[in-house]
Amino acid sequence: MAPIARKMTTIWWSNGLRIYTHEDCLQHEVAPGHPENTERLTSLITQIKSSELAEHLLSAPSVEARDVLAAHASSHLSFLESMLPEQDVVAVDADTWMGPHSMSAALHAAGAVCAGVRDVMSNTSNRVFCAVRPPGHHAERNNAMGFCLFNSIAIGAHHALQNEHVERVAILDFDVHHGNGTVDIFADCPEVLVCSSFQHPHYPNRKHDIKRPNIVYSPLDAGTTGPQFRKIIEQHWLPALASHQPDLLLVSAGFDAHQLDPLADINLLEDDFTWITELIVDAAETYCSGRVVSTLEGGYDLESLKSSTMAHLRALA
């Protein structure tokens, strides 16, 4: 009797997607009629809670001050603390507002990314998404702007570099606006690769001409379609990732390049967000054991924000 061939099977314990959010991120106050409003996150969280991903939701911790100060000047932190109102809202700049919950919201948004970094580096999970607001990628070392108070993804990257197993990080930013803050913070930090695709010319129109080997700009003409976007990303980002060999991928996930978004003129669809998420996951599997921490940046059409974020989450999961 022939021996029964026993196929060796590897049991892969997928530790699953974690989705961090925080009540104060829902409360962060802005001026009436502002596109970056509470409704963005309440409708997204409602959608997640009614989906198969509901059980993945967790409450985010706040960030440690030392992590904030790795990315920002202490004068920036003290400036925002001095601006924090006890009631109503105040303008930090023409676009960027703070109310009584805003400091806590921004600290929890950054804390979510740092918690995600700890999760993926400890193999508690290999994919994390931070469903938070305010967004962060426009916040420079010493400058709040573009709806952003603290640069959550930059704080998370610095937090990751504190880990003895992390020598290099890549930040992939597909928000429709240039991640000027992230470039400002990492222009002289070769350990961090920053790849940013953005409509150009368009807001914020700054920090997109700093030439560094670790900074990759992917400017997009108004009207760019999904196929054109995919070609540019493959041409620009894949060689940069191969050369950088990151130990961790961080993602500034803005969904305002969707064709329905009111703040820009790029024509991506949900399938394109699935595509770029799969590209990011593939790169993470190639270079860094699948470790991805993604955080919400822009996306101002409520329906396409929800559907595009769900496409991103399902491709991450």
Q: Which residues are catalytic?
A: 138
Neighbours of 227 (CB within 10 A): 9
CA dihedral 134, 138, 143, 149 (to 10 degrees): 10
The residues facing 294 across adjacent strands are: 129, 251
Q: Which residue is nearest to Zn ion, using beta carbons? A: 298
One residue of 24, 119, 140, 175 binding Zn ion per CB under 5 A: 175
C-alpha–C-alpha distance, residues 5 and 264, integer Å: 59
DSSP structure class, residue 145:
B
Q: Answer whether 170's CB lies under 8 Å from 60's CB.
A: no
Q: How far is the CB of 254 from Zn ion (least distance, A)?
A: 4
154 burial via Cβ count (<10 Å: 0-12, 13-18, 19+): buried
- Residue 256 near Zn ion by CB under 5 A: yes
78 burial via Cβ count (<10 Å: 0-12, 13-18, 19+): exposed
Interacting stretch for Zn ion, rule CB under 5 A, among 81-89, 152-160, 247-255, 276-284?
A: 247-255
Interacting stretch for Zn ion, rule CB under 5 A, among 26-34, 36-44, 114-122, 296-304?
A: 296-304
- Residue 119 near Zn ion by CB under 5 A: no
Q: How far is the CB of 288 from Zn ion (least distance, A)?
A: 26
Q: How far is the CB of 4 from Zn ion (least distance, A)?
A: 58
Q: Answer whether 302's CB lies under 8 Å from 40's CB.
A: yes
Q: How far is the CB of 317 from Zn ion (least distance, A)?
A: 24
Interacting stretch for Zn ion, rule CB under 5 A, among 10-18, 57-65, 192-200, 294-302?
A: 294-302
Which one, 79 or 203, has the nearer CB to Zn ion?
203
**Quick one: tokens of 250?**
């961080």
C-alpha–C-alpha distance, residues 108 and 106, integer Å: 5
**Quick one: tokens of 314?**
């399902």
Interacting stretch for Zn ion, rule CB under 5 A, among 32-40, 148-156, 188-196, 255-263?
A: 255-263
- Residue 254 near Zn ion by CB under 5 A: yes
Which one, 161 or 250, has the nearer CB to Zn ion?
250
Residue tagged 């929800």 (tokens): 306
Q: How far is the CB of 146 from Zn ion (least distance, A)?
A: 8
β 215-220/90-91 pair status? unpaired
From the list 48, 66, 114, the residue with the least C-alpha distance to 250 is 114
Which one, 67 or 261, has the nearer CB to Zn ion?
261
Which one, 115 or 176, has the nearer CB to Zn ion?
176
Which one, 56 or 208, has the nearer CB to Zn ion?
208
Which residues form the interface with Zn ion (CB under 5 A)? 175, 177, 254, 256, 298
